[in-house]
């Protein structure tokens, strides 16, 4: 049975580096990128991440439909590294947020469904968003709530969960 590994921590905590190192133990690797280059700063971050992971990954870019991207991986893939769920949550809010819209919940449930029977090992990176102050505006609070909910649900079904703090990993489960 394939493992689901959840890796979380604050910004610049070392979570992506930890996940990359963990994924290196597998032969056939896919990097599932959720970021979209909306501005120069984000494009620079994407470029840096590409350099950091090197040539050992096939890169798939999917900002919204993670369930489909994971479910449609070619057979023989050993691991897919999803980086990151927090950016994905922001993408969902940007694309699907409107009064009465339930597509965000559908996308989250679809991801959880594929993670319950993953086609290969899956490593998911996400920011821990619940350790700071309460955001001052409604949109930021909603984002925190969506991202925190995703983190809880993915961590609950994962076989391993890791928290990174100052580059140091702490195994949670």
Check if 40 is active-site. Answer: no
- 79 contacts 122 by C-beta, under 8 angstroms: yes
Q: Take residue 111 and report the two structure tokens written for it.
A: 């991801």
The backbone torsions φ and ψ at residue 2, rounded to the nearest 5 degrees and listed phi first, read -75, 150
Considering 28, 45, 49, 153, which one is annotated as catalytic?
Answer: 49
Could you give the residue ranges of the DSSP H alpha helices within the chain?
Answer: 15-23, 40-53, 66-71, 85-96, 103-116, 138-157
Catalytic residues: 49
């Amino acid at each position: 049975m394939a493992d689901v590994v959840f890796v979380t921590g604050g910004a610049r905590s070392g979570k992506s580096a930890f996940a990359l190192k963990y994924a290196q133990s597998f032969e056939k690797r896919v990097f599932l990128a959720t970021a979209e280059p909306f501005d120069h700063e984000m494009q620079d971050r994407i470029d840096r991440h590409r350099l950091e992971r090197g040539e050992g990954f096939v890169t798939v870019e999917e900002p919204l439909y993670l369930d489909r991207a994971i479910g449609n991986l070619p057979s023989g893939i050993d691991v897919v590294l999803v980086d990151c769920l927090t950016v994905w949550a922001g993408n969902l809010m940007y694309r699907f947020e409107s009064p009465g819209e339930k597509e965000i919940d559908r996308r989250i449930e679809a991801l959880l469904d594929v993670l319950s029977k993953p086609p290969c090992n899956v490593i998911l990176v996400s920011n821990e968003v619940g350790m700071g102050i309460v955001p001052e505006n409604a949109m930021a609070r909603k984002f925190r709530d969506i991202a925190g909910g995703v983190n809880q649900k993915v961590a609950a079904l994962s076989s391993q969960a890791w928290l990174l703090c100052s580059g140091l990993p702490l195994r949670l489960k």
